Structure 1
């Protein structure tokens, strides 16, 4: 039985500032670095054979800091834009509260919470799903099928798209799923069946995730 570990990157500077981050290459805050190290500590006893990351610095740095904590610096690492965060287009860099004042809460909520509604110049979650899942099937699933344990470090929405696929969640239900920064989640994989396990971190330490 192989294992699949999913980690959303640590807090980024624009997470802290409540901005739409999307495809912008924004680095971690000091808290985000602490979250990355803590995530690595949570997985110290796990055997990781290969890791995948988006190409954005907040995910790559989170992965690097995790692997340093885990003493797994020699494992293969694959980076791909297919795991990048959902693009928010013209909204990227805007403060979310100010965006609500400009466009109205209903419109902003539709952009953020609808499965197939596209923000101006950006991507819907469906668009994100349609690039994440083919990559997962082609490159990650075969590693799991061969018995390897896999770590993926990515973003709130790219992981949400993957979780939707793994758990067979509806498009309406997945939009309610919150993914905290720096908290490892894992699945046991047997015969292409993914069984979700609890996050390794104590539930008392979980925090509400911010989107983007």
Structure 2
């Protein structure tokens, strides 16, 4: 069997301020750091072969806190922009409530939650899927087939894309999927990458 753990980074400054973050490089809050420590406590009995994260500091810092907590700071860490948060375009940095007041709840919800609709000058979840999932299939799946244990610490939308692929979630159903910050999701696979078990820890 192989194991895959997915973790969304802890709370960032822009999460706290209710702003669209996207691929802006925003740090963790004090709470976000504590959330990452809490995630590490849940992973204390796992032994990982590799860890993957994005090129953004909030994911890297969350991963570093987790690895320190589980005493595995010596494992190989691969950073790749394929795991970055989606680009929210001209919405990045804007307050979400103010954006809703300006554009309306329905339109903002379609920008945030739908599969194919792009925010102005930004990426849709479909765009994110089309860079995140090929990276996963090319780089990470071969390791899982070798029965490795993998930790991925990334972002709400890059993880939504991965979970959409892993669990075969449709474009119609993906708007209902929310990824909580710093709550590990564990997948156990057989040698053919069939999911044997999946659960939040």
How far does residue 178 in structure 1 lie from its aligned partner after superposition? Answer: 1.1
* Residues 1:166 and 2:166 aligned together: yes
SS in 2 for 1:136: helix
1:194 CA drift (Å): 2.3
Q: Distance in 2 between matches of 1:14 and 1:62?
A: 15
Partner of 1:192: 193
Matches within 5 A, 1:8-19: 8-19=8-19
Q: Deviations over 1:120-179 (max 9, x none)?
A: 110000000000010001100011111110000000000000000000110121221111
Partner of 1:48: 48
Where do 1:56-205 residues align within 5 Å?
Answer: 56-190=56-190, 191-200=192-201
Greater mean alpha carbon deviation, residues 9-18 or residues 168-177: 168-177
TM-score, structure 1 as length reference: 0.93
Distance 1:163 1:133 in 2: 10
The unaligned stretches of length 5 or more in structure 1 are 201-212
Deviates more, 1:53-62 or 1:190-199: 190-199
How many equivalent residue pairs?
A: 200
Q: Does 104-113 or 20-29 show the bigger shift?
A: 104-113
Evaluate the alpha carbon distance shift between residue 196 and residue 85 of structure 1 in structure 2; reply closer, same or farther with a 3 A threshold: farther
Indicate the SS of the match to 1:20.
Answer: coil
Q: In structure 2, how many angstroms separate the alpha carbons of the residues matched to 1:126 and 1:194?
A: 23
Q: Aligned partners of 1:38, 1:113: CA distance in 2, in Å?
A: 27
Q: Please, what TM-score do these two structures have when normalized by structure 2? A: 0.98
How far the C-alpha of 1:197 sits from its partner, in A, is 2.0
CA offsets 1:2-51 (integer angstroms, 9 cap, x no match): 10000000000000000000000000000000001111111010111100
Task: For residue 187 of structure 2, give the secondary structure of its aligned residue in structure 1.
Answer: strand
1:196 Cα offset (Å): 4.3
Counterpart contact for 2:6–2:185, Cα < 8 Å: yes
Q: How far apart, CA to CA, are the structure 2 residues paired with 1:196 and 1:174? A: 20
Give the Å deviation of 1:182. Answer: 0.6
Runs of 4+ in 1 over 3 A off after TM superposition: none
Provide the C-alpha distance between the structure 2 equivalents of 1:103 and 1:150, rounded to a whole number of angstroms.
Answer: 41
Q: Calculate the aligned-residue CA RMSD, in Å.
A: 0.8
Deviation at 1:107, TM superposition (A): 1.2
Does the residue aligned with 1:25 lie in a helix, a strand or coil? Answer: coil
